[in-house]
Amino acid sequence: VTTLSGEGAVAQVDASPDMTVSELLAVCRAELRMPAGNNIVLLHNGQPLNSPQAKLSQAGVTDGDMIIAQPMPNQQQMQQQQQRQRQQPARGGGGGGAAGGMPLIDFSGVRLGSGGSGGRQAQPQRRFETDEEASAAVASNPEILRQALLSMPEQLAALRQQNPQLADAVSDPDRFAQLVRTAQSERSRAAQERARLMAANPYDPRVQQEIQSLIQQQNIDSSMETALEHMPEAFAPVNMLYIDVKVNGHPVKAFVDSGAQMTIMSLPCAQRCNVERLIDKRWAGIARGVGTQTIVGRIHLGQLQIGGDYLACNFSVLRDQSMDLLLGLDMLKRHQCLLDLKSNKLVIGTTGTVAPFLSEADLPEDARASGGGSGGEGGKPITQESIDAVVAGGPDGTTADDAREALMHALGEVDAAIAFLVAKQSERSGQ
């Protein structure tokens, strides 16, 4: 069974059906390092195991179950808990955790200004030593949090993943303050509801489920704080892989995508490169939905120039496609290409030609704006709206799971996700 303490410690315990509740309690004390003097209660499915001599099989404990070990609250502790819960709304909902849509910000030791405007900005900065002190200050003046986010890009990047709406409002003080106060109000109501349930029955399954959820969220928050401290690069934007190529002598910035089955070209790009006349419209099709993606046809043999090499390549042409050219797996495998990320270059295996991946400044404008380059923070967040848009605009039979997978592949970009699905459908149609 899995045992979990109220402080978030976790331990796997080998327990037999004949083990008694008291024996399991002794093992939990040792494995979870709980003080021997405390009165501990074991909770299974939200219900206390009150019979010390009962066997685990009699108590309904089976293989893989979770047992929560926590101090048994006395009347004084319950009263103190209720008092803290009542005081929490007055402080704006407590710490700066992720609950209620608020960002997870570690204010400890961070020097922040007073958050005011005008002459108050000239006051000396102060240092918040604890999250509680900083959270109380943010509750009274959200401008402090806004200024902190503006001065900490890595925290702003994390917030953009958690709460894009709040991150976008950082540049608007009034809108930002409104969102913060709304989140604080929601968190206060949740705290009041928890206090009411705890006062009514601390062993109620709903209360125990809420406690377990809070413990899990604390562990997640702790993991995120550790990641922000020790590997902040994980929250930094990652540039998509583009190279400079020429199609029929016309320069094009091509997106290298080893996850796409087929090479795709947009119809406007085909027109600019004077290869529209080569489109075989017998390969045309329509991906129906609320929106549509029209497959114009296929160019069976086109001239693709990379560096000094001229490579034969076929293209599936889409009418409504934001990317000019996407080099898929068919082309990459045919020419034995190597994506050398250490040297930041694409190596054409059949010829030995090297094509450097474009830097951030050289990316197409739509790639920078969509999050494929520096314009986003690691890509757009995948929301239910974006999933619905891909399901609607993708090929017939596209499921929510298909849409989610395509969005993850395309870093949240709806058009690129639809193009990815259309390419897969076109590949299946050609087989």
Indicate if 18 belongs to the active site: no
Q: How many CB atoms lie within 10 A of CB 45?
A: 13
Question: Considering Cα of 255, then 258, then 259, then 260, what sign does the dihedral take?
Answer: positive
Residue 158 token pair: 């994390």
Q: Give Cα separations from 253 to 245, 306, 316 (angstroms).
A: 6, 11, 17
Measured CA angle at 220 (ends 214, 223), to 5 deg = 145
Helices (H), 255-351: 267-272, 329-334
Exposed e or buried b per residue across 75-92, where buried means at least 16 C-beta atoms within 10 angstroms of its C-beta: eeeeeebeeebeebbebb
Residue 346 token pair: 């694409």
Residue with tokens 């377990």: 212
Q: Using DSSP, how many helices (H) and how many strands (E) does the chain show?
A: 14, 18
Catalytic: which of 65, 174, 257, 280? Answer: 257
* Cα distance between residue 278 and residue 269, in whole Å: 13
Length of the chain: 431
Residues belonging to the active site: 257
